[in-house]
Each structure stands twice: as structure tokens, then as C-alpha cells.
Amino acid sequence: MHNSRHQRIYGTWIVLPYRWCAVRPRTRQSRWCRHGRAAVVWHDWGADRWERRKMESRARLLQAAFVLVAERGFANFAVGEVTEAADVGLGTFYNHFSSKEEIHKALLENLIGDLDLAMEGAKGSADSPAACVKAYISQILRRANDDSHWSMFISNLGPYQVEIIEHLDASLRRLAGDPTNTAQAPDVTAPGKFIVVSCAVLGMLIRFGAGRSVCGNLPTCAPDSALVDKATTELLRIVAES
């Protein structure tokens, strides 16, 4: 091969016959060949682009399914409606998820991830177990109050709500007994206390979501910070008195 201009093979291999040649892939690492014979080097331009598009299509599918669940519930939409809303083909859906039930699980994992982020935020913003619990409850309720689709999604979880209660209970217990906090709230690990609070938190989340589902964007369903503060206070009273 004597022609110095060779077409790059998209996403596979490139042939470099130069005596001195440099290949700079997207990883910004240079590779040199010091020999006159051809050098075969793997280049990841195509792979990077393919992975990026794959991640983008998965994100679109999850967002589309999230909105459909929030507005209709888990059982009241078809895979074709998800792909249409995400603007991808049906085959793309099955490249990521084997069934509608699998995307349900992925959405639930995302929700649990949101709750975990709220817990980490509470740990970083408070200096005692009681303050951590308060910050955690407040963050979750404010998120539900401010994000209508998030609260509507939770209100339409159906049987998956049991898993959310269990996760809330575990998170509250972890915050209450966090060894990185030296101050201890009185009677902070009383058995049964946090499962009651977890059910009450879920009830408030469902209340926000159900209200948005019924009246949409009417003024009566506008975010209500005072209600969040009142609910947080009542839930903390349960913790203190249990």
C-alpha cells in the first residue's frame, strides 16, 4: 500500500503505513509506530459515538415511560407509546429492555436513586441525627411539592409502593444511627417508629401526586411550601412521641 491517503474504517481498524505516524483517539492517548511497514491500530471513534447514542436512547425511553406512568399508571400504556414519545424505533426499546416490566424496574431504581441523593444531601447539611431526619423528610416532600410528575409517578406506583416504604424506613434508620454524627437524639432508634413515619411520608407524596392528577395545573394545585413545612413538623412529632 503506497497511497498515503487511506479511508478510515468506521468503528473498526485503521491502517497506517507511515514511517512516523501518530494516532490520537478520543482518549487523547498518542500511539506511535517507528517502522516502515503498516501498523494496525484500534481506534474508538465509532465505539464512543455508538455508546453515547445508546445511552441517549435509553435516557429518552426512561423519561418517556416516566411521564406515561406519572400520567396513567404502570398498567395503562403500551411499549409502542413509549417508543413514540421517545422518538425511537420499537427495536431500540428491546435493545435496552426485554419487556415493559423491566422498564418498570429501571424506573423504580431511578426513584430509589433520587431518595438516596436526598439522604446524602441530608447527611451533608445537618450535624445531628434528629436534624438529618428532618432534612431528609423535608427534601423529599419539597421535591414532591415542586415536581408534579415526580409526585404523580409515586402516587401511581401501585404494588411497588411497598418497596418505597421499606427503603424510606431503612434510610431513616440509617440517618438516625449514623456513626459520623456524634450528637444523639433521645430514643432515636425505637422499634416501629420509622416504619410509621415512612408510611406517613409516602401518604404525603401520594397526596401531592393525586392532587396534581385530579386538577393538573390549576391554582389550587400550585406548590404549597406551608403545607410541606406543616407536614414535616407533624412527621417529626411522630418521631419524638413514638
Mean pLDDT calculated for residue range 238-242: 62
| Residue 200 and residue 117 share a domain | yes
- Tell which residue, 188, 29, 171, has the closest CA to residue 114: 171
In a domain, 5, yes or no: yes
* pLDDT tier at 18, thresholds 50, 70, 90: very low
Please give the pLDDT value at position 60: 94
Grid cell 431513616 in the structure block, residue: 172
Q: Identify the CATH number of the domain in which residue 125 sits.
A: 1.10.357
* Average of per-residue pLDDT across 115-120: 93
Check whether residue 93 and residue 211 sit in a common domain: no
Question: In the 8-state DSSP scheme, what is residue 128?
Answer: S
Q: How many residues does the chain have?
A: 242
118, 209: one domain: yes
Any domain includes 48? no
- Based on the domain organization, do 176 and 231 belong to the same domain? yes
Q: Tell me the pTM.
A: 0.68
Whether residue 233 sits in one domain with residue 117: yes
Query: Stretch 23-50: mean pLDDT, rounded?
Result: 47
Is 108 a residue whose pLDDT tops 50? yes
210 domain-assigned: yes
Which pLDDT tens digit goes with each residue over 192-213? 778 888 888 888 888 887 766 5
Q: Domain range spanning residue 90?
A: 54-98
179 and 78 in a common domain: no
Q: Are residues 10 and 78 in the same domain?
A: no
Residue 176 has a CB neighbour count (10 Å cut-off) of 22
At residue 97 the predicted structure's pLDDT band, cuts being 50, 70 and 90, is very high
For 46-57, what is each residue's pLDDT tens digit?
557 888 888 999
The residue among 193, 198, 195 whose CA lies nearest residue 238 is 193
Q: How many distinct structural domains can be found in the chain?
A: 3
